[in-house]
Amino acid sequence: MIATTTVDLANLVEQNRFSRQLYYALHSFEIVIPPLRARRSSIPSLIFTRLNSLKKRFSYSLKIDDDALAQLVAYSWPGNDFELNSIIENIAISSDNGHIRLSNLPDYLFAERPGLETASSLLPASLTFTAIEKEAIIHAARVTSGRVQEMSQLLNIGRTTLWRKMKQYDIDASQFKRKHLD
């Protein structure tokens, strides 16, 4: 029998929330597979394997642009292989003539996921508050493709405040809009 879980069964056994007998029956041979975010180098091969499988299933050629592949590798994949396979199938089906471009990827793949990097690892110690604030606004513009409402939500500030700060730092949200290549 092969079983998989995303919870710590040993901890549940200690809390008497999972059967000790079943735990030991399942735990006779354990294979630990790290999450995708911990093995990013395997993501391209998983993507190409999935694309080849879909190519056979749908009987048409599939190709992916380098920038789309890079974005898929950069994403944190909280849903691991299940999420990756689902996304690849969805974008393959919705792509134009089997050509997967950056514009085919769902918007949330461009959003920063918590826990990947700490703020201190992203920002040099010499930055002033003003520079950090400006960089945060620019980052929010990139992540949201310049959509001001989403930027204000991401930054947790009002739209009026955001507009004022964008004017202060001479930031034009429209320059961050992604171009769709249709």
Per-domain boundaries in the chain: 1-32, 36-110, 119-176
Q: Compute the distance between CA of residue 107 and CA of residue 143 in angstroms, rounded to an integer.
A: 8
Q: What pLDDT digit, counting tens, does each position of 104-148 carry?
A: 999 888 875 444 444 444 445 555 677 778 888 888 888 788 889
The CATH class of 36-110 is mainly alpha
The CATH class of 119-176 is mainly alpha
Q: How far is CA 85 from the centre of its chain?
A: 13
pTM, rounded to two decimals: 0.53
Read off φ and ψ for residue 114, nearest 5 degrees: -65, 150
pLDDT digit string (tens) for the chain, length 182 residues: 777 777 888 889 999 998 988 888 887 777 778 888 888 888 999 999 999 998 888 788 899 999 999 999 989 888 888 899 999 999 988 888 889 999 999 988 887 544 444 444 444 555 567 777 888 888 888 878 888 998 888 778 899 999 999 999 999 988 888 654 44
